[in-house]
Structure 1
Amino acid sequence: MPPRAPSGFLDRFFHLTERGSNLSTEIRGGLATFFAMAYIVVLNPLIIGTAEDVDGQTLGIPQVAAVTALVAAISCLLMGIVSRYPFAIAAGMGLNAVIAYGLAPLMPWADVFLLVIIEGVLLLVLVVTGFRTAVFAAIPPGIKTAIAVGVGLFLALIGLVNAGFVQAGEGTPVQLGDGGLNGWPIVVFVLGLLVSVALYVRKVRGALLIGIVLATVVAILVETVLGNGEADGLGWSLTVPSLPTGVGDLVALPDLSLIGLFTEGGGDVLARWKEIGFATVLMLVFTLLLADFFDTMGTMVGVAYEAGLVDDDGNMENTRGVLVADALGTVLGGVGSASVSTVYAESAAGVGEGARTGVAPIVTGGLMLLATFFTPLVSLVPFEAATPVLVLVGFMMMTQVVNIDFRDPALGIGAFLAIIMMPFTYSIANGIGFGLLGYAFVRLVQGKANQVHPLLWVISVVFLIHFAEVPIYALIR
């Protein structure tokens, strides 16, 4: 029987039928992605909104929450329309810490976000010139697969840590919970994971989203009856679930006063950067650029593999569209005073629900736009209810490891390093860097340096500089 022909503008534009999807599946996927990443509307303000700049000024939690949701909304809409892939985009975790604790102590917030805009423009230039797409194509398929697997493990670790299932240990780097699985929030997490796994195994449509909703309901009931409170031992790790008591707990007008803050620096920006040291400023921009560049690439590869949207060489159609939307998202993050934007690995939650097209991030973006008014409602879902999905998605992405040829030492060692270094260093970019360095080094030792794409040698040198930036900075300061 011949495949069904596309019907309607949306179907043709987003390739719904071609990719084996439909509108209801995409909407469900967009919902799942939103709930899996909605924590950023709460967490980014706690990092960016509370950090002091060089003048001791803070941006404020409500203001940062509003612009975080707004920038994510516009960026997701751009991603859906420009790339037509199921990738959601928002303020990047880790990158926001670099901004809050690396840039802000050295300069006013206005200058910080000016640097973010500059970084976004540089990313856009790299895309327009074809360099960023060329780097993507130069990475061997086996390493691309390893990146996807590494992102899956990283995602699972994020879920376990955010739920309090894995914590920093006393005398060991990590441990199980606080020494054991104690407290009702952990019970909610385990219940959410078991329900999600059961529904997934039974091939129930909406399994991940149903798991999040059911776990949230249980969390609200537990908190209402037992009143665990905030994270002070056995409490909830970030948001405390509770029933709304009035309209004010559901909706509020967003404070968007931070938009355009980068224009309010006043005086001579270059003079201020000269006082800090241009070498310092350049190194900070380089760090943001490198992390953003490869975080997006790694997440894009991982989610695309999971969605079956890559060819036999691990390449995608319209990679350029994804990267353009990502760069524009970072520019928007600077203009809106939110943070550097990046593609979210939590997009895999939507893919797990069947999302395959740009309709899903448009749905996610629409919900993010609503979230600017419904920040209290978004905060209703605790980490412990949303993070089981991340663990399950990690498993889904892990299954791709069978496609890596570990009999080839270069691919095997490079893949191994890429996979383990992402969760172990809590950085997708670091994992990619060590994976590419390992691959290039073994090919060199094998006497097969000519099998390494010239661009990978360039990237390897860049990563070496990045990993050695502290001693390099000490030499040039």
Structure 2
Amino acid sequence: MAVTVTDSRLERLFQLSERGTTARTEIVAGVTTFLTMAYIVLVNPAILGQAGMPVAAVAAATCFAAAFACILMGFVANVPLALAPGMGLNAYFSFTVVQQMHVPWPIALGCVFISGVAFLLLTLGGIRQMIVAAIPQHLFAAVAGGIGLFIGFIGLRNAGIVVSNPATSVALGNLHAAGPGLALLGLLIIAGLSIWGVRGAMLIGIVVTTIVGWLFGMVSFKPDPYSLATLSQTAFKLDLPGVFGMTGHGLGLFEILFVFLFVDLFDNIGTLVAVTKRAGLIGPDGKITKLNRILFADATATIVGSLAGTSTVTSYVESAAGVQAGGRTGLTAIVTGILFLATMFVAPYAQLIPLAATAPALIMVGGLMMAPLIEVPWDEPEMAIPAFLTLALIPLTFSIANGLAFGITAHAILKIVRGKAVRGDWLLFVLAALFVVRFVYLAAG
């Protein structure tokens, strides 16, 4: 009888039969989604740890932010969409904002918080539609591909497979060394499992590679005390006054906020279209149902994530794995969130994972992010040139902001040259003008 009552409550809350699914199917789908994206619990701390953040605390914050985001998405929007701190944005946070721009990580967390608030206001004010309409679709694909190359390059560097070289900038590392050898083993395991369609291939690869590293003495097994109190090392450590005191960074504040906001906004759009289309949640008018609720949940999750101590939270394309397993409602996302919540109890031990073990996951994720590039019409120079500049300059300049700036500016200029500029493109030209001002400022500095 209890089962019947429970099923009835779930039916009313998530409209299971209306969407052609069952509670059991949703649970299986939620577990599937978790397994395909659980690698973030290990990879995110590895990346943010290089910004000087305490790794164990970031691991706990990652689990908490992902759990909150998934559960909120499930209840508010009732879609099988899972969220967690985003790949690419965490790299921008760590390598560009903190290491290159020398912004302390508490101030960087403050920037994430402000970008989340801005995203929330844009959603509530309906301005999102204007921004989406101003940016061409082929640049969406180029940004995704560029971030993929960026992530892949970071993975290759962390593995020691690619190293610095004064003559050629980069070169092949010593593959006979322990680090590159371990990373290549991990890459082989993840790739092999992925080819055979094994769920959680990345997580399995990281765990197996770490164990091999332990067996060969490549990891110092000295874990910190096991406690959820570790989260206090990053929770509420964001420095909002410091954000507004970034006078020494010139336009740096605008750049940071713009990248956090822009990438989160458009990465979400791409993910939403892919996942909701596969789940059959596109309305008769071709629009995503409950889009504002979805974006509201995402923006709120970013705000909460920054308070917990992690970079921007965003929708994960791995949600498609759960949809493929039958997930059609928010119950799938809630199950994923509950599993992330349970993972918090072992999160502090993420600091025991060596970079050589997480590097293969970065390389694989980077490769998988190349898929959207097929959407770029490469035989049309007007679109191909801005897309290529975006794609190439993100990894080569180690900056998502530079890639976005060149791509948007080039697109705007070519529209003028081609004589296709119209009054409706005003926001595009405003963005391009701001980027030109930024380039002039950087040159003058």
Same-fold status (TM-score > 0.5): yes
**Other-structure match for 2:218:** 228
Specify the SS of the correspondent of 1:422: helix
Q: Is the 8 A contact 1:33 1:88 kept in 2?
A: no
Partner of 1:77: 71
Matched, 1:44 2:39: no
Q: Are 2:299 and 1:327 equivalent residues in the alignment?
A: yes
Secondary structure of the corresponding residue to residue 51 of structure 2: helix
Q: Please name the residue that 2:5 is paired with.
A: none
Q: Alpha carbons of 1:219 and 1:470: their partners in 2 closer, same or farther (altered >3 Å)?
A: same
Structure 2 equivalent of residue 56 of structure 1 = none
For 1:182, the equivalent position in structure 2 comes to 176
- Whole-angstrom distance in 2 between the partners of 1:69 and 1:462: 37
- Counterparts of 2:243 and 2:358 in 1: how far apart (Å)? 41
Change (3 A) 1:65 1:25: closer
Question: Cα gap change, 1:304/1:292 in structure 2, threshold over 3 Å: closer, same or farther?
Answer: same
CA distance in 1, matches of 2:183, 2:438: 37
Equivalent pairs counted in the alignment come to: 420
- Which residue, out of 211, 217, 224, partners 2:208? 217
Distance 2:409 2:353 in 1: 40
Map 1:286-365; keep pairs closer than 5 Å: 286-301=254-269, 303-304=271-272, 307=275, 309=277, 317-336=289-308, 338-343=309-314, 347-349=316-318, 351=320, 354=324, 362=334, 365=337
- With over 3 angstroms needed to count, the CA separation of the structure-2 counterparts of 1:323 and 1:227, relative to structure 1, is same
Measured in 1, the distance between the counterparts of 2:113 and 2:17 equals 30
**d(CA) in 2 for partners of 1:404, 1:364:** 33
Q: CA deviation at 1:17?
A: 5.5
The verdict on how the C-alpha distance between 1:469 and 1:325 changes in structure 2, with shifts beyond 3 A counting, is farther
Change (3 A) 1:156 1:119: closer
CA contact (8 A) 2:111 2:256 kept: no
Contact 1:298 1:428 in 2 (8 A): no
Correspondence 1:455 to 2:423: no
1:141 aligns with 2:137: yes
Give the 3 Å change call, closer, same or farther, for CA 97–419 of structure 1 in structure 2: closer
Paired residue for 1:89?
A: 84
Residue 418 in structure 1 maps to residue 390 in structure 2: yes
Say if 1:156 and 1:249 are closer, same or farther in 2 by CA, change over 3 A: same
When normalised by structure 2's length, the TM-score is 0.75
The aligned counterpart of 1:192 is 186
Structure 1 residue ranges without an equivalent (≥5):
1-6, 50-59, 230-239
- Distance between the aligned counterparts of 1:351 and 1:165, measured in 2? 31
Paired residues of 2:144 and 2:267 also in contact (CA < 8 A): yes
Structure 1 residues 161-211: Cα deviation after superposition (integer angstroms, max 9, x where no partner): 3333222224222222x2x31233333332333333334334x241xx235
C-alpha RMSD of the superposition: 4.2
Residues 65, 84 of structure 2: 8 Å contact kept: no
Q: Determine the C-alpha separation between the residues in 1 that align with 2:29 and 2:55.
A: 34
**Identity score, percent:** 26
C-alpha displacement at 1:131, in angstroms? 1.9
Asked whether the equivalents of residues 349 and 393 of structure 1 are also in contact (C-alpha less than 8 Å), the reply is: no
Deviation at 1:68, TM superposition (A): 5.0
- List runs of 5+ in structure 2 lacking aligned partners: 1-9
| C-alpha spacing 1:113/1:194, structure 2 compared with 1 (3 Å) | closer
Structure in which a larger fraction of residues adopt helix: 2
- 1:147, 1:301 within 8 Å by CA — same for their partners in 2? no
- Secondary structure in 2 matching 1:190: helix
User: 1:234 maps to which residue?
Assistant: none
SS in 2 for 1:38: helix
- Residue of structure 1 equivalent to 2:158: 162
SS of the residue corresponding to residue 168 of structure 2 reads coil
Provide closer, same or farther for how the CA distance between residues 441 and 40 of structure 1 changes in structure 2, counting only shifts above 3 A.
Answer: same
Partner-residue secondary structure (3-state), 1:182: coil
Task: Flag the 1:288–1:305 CA change in 2: closer, same or farther, 3 A.
Answer: same
Kept in 1: contact 2:187–2:205 (CA 8 A)? no
Check the 8 A contact 2:36/2:318 in 1, yes or no.
yes
Deviates more, 1:279-288 or 1:410-419: 279-288
1:445, distance to aligned residue in structure 2 (A): 0.8
Matched to 2:389, the amino acid is L
Tell me how far apart the structure 2 counterparts of residues 192 and 252 of structure 1 sit (CA, whole Å): 29
> Are the structure 2 counterparts of residues 45 and 210 from structure 1 closer, same or farther at C-alpha, using a change threshold of 3 Å?
closer
Indicate if the aligned counterparts of 1:192 and 1:212 stay in contact, CA closer than 8 A: no
Q: Matched residues in 2 for 1:210 and 1:318: separation?
A: 32
